[in-house]
Structure 1
Amino acid sequence: MSGLLRGVNAHPRRPALRGPILIVLGLILFSAAACSGGLPEPGQGGADPDGPIATPTPAIDRNLLAPDLQTLPPFKLSLQSTLEGGRELRFGTTIVNLGQGPLDLLGQPDSAGRTVVTQRIARIDGGISARQVGNFILHPTHEHWHFEDFMEFELWSYAPGGRLEQRLVTSGKLTFCIFDTETIEPAAAKAAAFSECGNEAQGISVGWGDTYDAPVPGQALDVSDIADGRYALRMIADPDDRLLELDETNNANVAYIEIAWPVVELREGP
C-alpha cells in the first residue's frame, strides 16, 4: 500500500456510513498508540503552551455508566481557495461514544435567557447523577442549537517519530450540534436516542457517532500562511474537559498530512 492516501472531495453534512467499521476502529487505535504507547502529545510536557488550561473534571465514580468520547480519523480532506483570497484545509470529523452509557445533555432555560446544559449519567444502582456543564447556543449559520466548546482543530509541526512541536493554526473552541448520525460499533449500539439539534436534549448513544461532513461551516483551518510540507492535524473533542467521561485522556486524534497546494494527502504515519 502506498505511504500516502489522497484526500477526496466533500459531500453533504451527514454522509452515509464510510467504509468498513473495523478499519475505522483500527485507525483510531493506531492513532491513540502512535507515539510512546499513547497519543503524541505537544511539547512542554504535554501541555498546550498557546491555549487555555482545561478545566479539570472530578475523578470518575466507577458506579457511573459514563460515556467515553473519542475522535475518529478525518476524512474527505481537501484544500480550497476562500472568497477572501486565502486558503483553507477542509475535512470531516466523527465523534464516537465508546463508553458504558450515553452522552446525555439536557437543556433548561434560566432567568438570564440562557439555555443551561446538565449532563446526566446513569448509575449502576439505577439512579441518575447530574452536573452542569455549559450552555446550548443558537448557531446563526447552521440555524439550530449547539453545545458550546465541544470541539477544537489544530495544525502542528512535528518532529521525527511524530512528536508534536509547535501549534501553527487553531480553530478556537467550536460549538457543535450533537446527535446520533451513524452506528460505529454495532455490537454495542442500540436504537438511536438522539435525533435532532434542539435546545432540550442532545447527546450520543453508546456505539454511535456524530459526524460533521467536510463542507459544513467550521470544518476547516485557515492555512493561508502555511508552506507546503508535512504537518499534524489534531482534533480534540471536549477540549476543556467540561464533560465527565470514563477516560479523559483519549479525546484527541492526530492525523499526519502532507500539503502541496492544491493537494493535501493523508499519510499512514509520521
Structure 2
Amino acid sequence: MTDPLKKRRRRSRLMTYGAVAAALALTAAGVGVAQAAATPPPLQFVAATGQVTAERYDYDGDIYLSFDLGLHVIAGKDPLEIWAKRTGYDKPIVAEQTVVKNGKKKKVALPAGLVTDFTGLKDFTTISIADADGKVVTEYKTPFCGNTWSSARTRPDAPAANPYPTSCGGGNPFTLGAVWGVQAGWDAAVQDQPYSGRGESFDLPVGKYTATATVNPTYRELFGIPKDQGSAKVEVTVVDATDDNKAGLARVKAADARAEAGTDRPDEHSLHTAEGDAKRQVSSYVPELRAPAKRPTPLKAAPTGGPRPDLRSLPAWDISLSEEDGKTYVNFGATVWNAGTSPLLVDGFRRSGTELMDAYQYFFDAKGNQVGSRPAGTMEWDPREGHLHWHFTDFAQYNLLDSSQKLAVRSGKEAFCLANTDAVDFTIPNAKWRPENTDLSTSCGANTVIAVREVLDIGNGDTYSQFRPGQSFEITDLPNGTYYIQTLANPEKKLAELDTTNNSSLREIILGGTPDARTLTVPPVHGIEG
C-alpha cells in the first residue's frame, strides 16, 4: 500500500478547513434551542460567527492557509437529499432530489446543468473577498454537496444520527453515482475555497479582509432558503503562523487530507420508500470491523445462492512517468469496487509464531445472517515503511500488456489491505454510505494481532495510487509503442462473487521518446481524460 501521507488519493495543499465546534457555534449564532419549537425553513444558510482568524503557513515553500469562514446550511424538518447518477461514462449526470409530500418520499428531477460532476451542486455559493480598503481581491464560486465529517445536529429534537456520506465522491474520475445529503436539523459546512481539483490556487497575504458569501438565487429558490438568509459577511484576519507551530500545521494537513481524501466518508443508511426501507435495513447487517474471536471450526459450506459481492475493475487513472536511480516507471491509480449484493468480508487467522494468516470469505443471506464461509487464500504481514499492516494476497493484480495484450511487466504490488476509499456508486441497492474502514487506521491491523477483518462494502471502491517503484511498472528497457494497463480483480478466483466477467479492465497508454527522455501519452477512455 502506498505512503499514508498520500492517503491513496490525490489531495489539495491549499483547500483546507479549520475545526469548527458546529453545534455550539451555530447555537451562538442564533440557530439552536430557541428555534426547535418553531417550524424551520426547508434550508437555512448561516455564518457561525462574524469574525475569524486565518493562519498562513509557509512550509518549505508550500503555502497552507488555515481558512474557515464558518459557513453552514441547516436542513429543516426534512433532510436535504440528492442522488446524482450517470448510466455510462459517456452519459450526462442526472440529479434528483428526494422530497417528502403527504408523508411519502419521491424523487424530483433537478433542473439540467446544476450537476456536471460529482463534486456537488455547481456554483452553489459565490465568495467575494475585499481588503481593508474595500477593494475586491478575489472572487470565486464553490460547489456544495452537504456530505461532511463535521456535521452536527443544531436543535435538540433533531434525529440522533446522520445517515449521509462524509465526502462528496468526486475524487475518482470513474465515479458512477453519488448520494449527497444534510440530515434534518443538522448542519453541513459550505465549501469556502476554490476547488483545487481544477487547479485553482488560493492564498491571502497577511492583513484584514471582509468575505461576503452569497447563495446562487437558483438554489435559494429551489431549496427554500429565506430571502434574508441568502448571504453572510465574515471579517477575516490573516496572520502568519510560526514555523514551530507544529500542532497547528498538523491540524491544517489533517483537514486537508479529510477534505479531499476522501474524498469524508460513510455508517447508517437513510430510508427511501417502503421497499427501500426494507432493502436498507438489510444493508445494516454488515458486521463490525472487529477481528474474529477464533478460527471457524467446523466450517460451514459456502451457500450455492444468495447475496454475493461483485468485484469490478475500473480503468487505470492518474497515470504518469517517474524516474528513480536511473530507471523509468509508469505510475497509476487502480480501483476495484464492489457492485454486488453483499459486502466482501474476509477474516484472517494467524498461524501461530508466523507472519502469515489463513483467510476466509464469509457469506450472508438476504436477512443478514451469516450462513457460511470458505478458504480464500492468505494474508501476510508487510514490514516495509509506509505499510506495517496485513495484506490480503488474493484481491487484485496489475499487469502491463503489450500491443497484442500479452504480459510485458507484472507489478510487484500483489497484496492489499482492503479499505473503502472511494464512493464509486452509492445509488445501487444497499450501498454502504458511511463505511467504517476508509483508510489504513481503520483496517489492516498491527503485527501484535492474532486475527484481522477486512471489508469492501457495497458501492465502495478500494483505490491504490502507484507511487512506489515496487508497485508501478518499470519500463526502462521497454520499446516504444502501445501498451495496456490491466487491473485484474480476484485473479486466482479464490473469492466467490456474482460475476467474474467484469474483473478485468484495460487502459491504453503510448510510450515514446528516447531512453533518456521517455514520453507518455494516455488516450481518453469513455471520453474521460483522467
Shorter-chain TM-score range: 0.7 to 0.9
Alignment check: 8 A CA contact 1:184 1:209 kept: yes
What's the counterpart of residue 144 of structure 1? Answer: 389
Q: Where in structure 2 are the equivalents of 1:1-270 lying within 5 Å? A: 12-15=6-9, 20=118, 24=174, 61-63=304-306, 65-83=307-325, 85-111=326-352, 113=354, 114-124=356-366, 126-141=369-384, 142-159=387-404, 164=405, 166-171=406-411, 174-188=414-428, 189-190=431-432, 191-194=434-437, 195-198=442-445, 199-216=451-468, 218-261=470-513, 262-268=518-524
Query: How many angstroms does 1:151 deviate by?
Result: 2.2
Superposed structure 1 runs of 4+ greater than 4 Å apart: none
Find the aligned partners of 1:257 and 1:60 in 2 and give their Cα distance.
Answer: 41
Alignment check: 8 A CA contact 1:60 1:246 kept: no
Find the aligned partners of 2:454 and 2:334 in 1 and give their Cα distance.
Answer: 18
Instruction: Provide TM-score, normalisation by structure 2.
Output: 0.39
Query: How many angstroms does 1:152 deviate by?
Result: 1.6
Find the aligned partners of 2:312 and 2:472 in 1 and give their Cα distance.
Answer: 19
Q: Which runs of 5+ in 1 are unaligned?
A: 1-10, 27-57
What's the counterpart of residue 210 of structure 2? Answer: none
Q: CA RMSD in A?
A: 2.9
Query: How many angstroms does 1:119 deviate by?
Result: 0.5
Report the count of equivalent residues: 222
Instruction: Provide TM-score, normalisation by structure 1.
Output: 0.73
What's the counterpart of residue 164 of structure 2? Answer: none
- Any idea what the Cα deviations from partners look like across 1:206-239, whole Å, max 9, x if unmatched? 0011111232564301111212221111111121
Query: How many angstroms does 1:263 deviate by?
Result: 2.9
Percent identity over the alignment is: 29
SS of residue matched to 1:192: coil
More helix per residue: 1 or 2?
Answer: 2
- Any idea what the Cα deviations from partners look like across 1:176-221, whole Å, max 9, x if unmatched? 1111112111213222143311251002000011111232564301
One-letter amino acid of the structure 2 residue matched with residue 252 of structure 1:
S
One-letter amino acid of the structure 2 residue matched with residue 12 of structure 1:
K
Find the aligned partners of 1:213 and 1:226 in 2 and give their Cα distance.
Answer: 22
Q: Quick check: which has more Rg, 1 or 2? A: 2
Alignment check: 8 A CA contact 1:13 1:214 kept: no
Alignment check: 8 A CA contact 1:193 1:205 kept: no
Find the aligned partners of 1:73 and 1:251 in 2 and give their Cα distance.
Answer: 11
- Any idea what the Cα deviations from partners look like across 1:24-78, whole Å, max 9, x if unmatched? 157xxxxxxxxxxxxxxxxxxxxxxxxxxxxxxx998332x11011111112211
SS of residue matched to 1:246: coil
| Residues 60 and 264 (structure 1), Cα distance of their counterparts in 2 relative to 1, 3 Å cut | farther
Alignment check: 8 A CA contact 2:409 2:473 kept: yes
Q: Which runs of 5+ in 2 are unaligned?
A: 12-116, 119-169, 177-300, 446-450, 526-530
Alignment check: 8 A CA contact 1:13 1:216 kept: no
SS of residue matched to 1:250: coil
Query: How many angstroms does 1:110 deviate by?
Result: 3.4
Alignment check: 8 A CA contact 1:13 1:212 kept: no
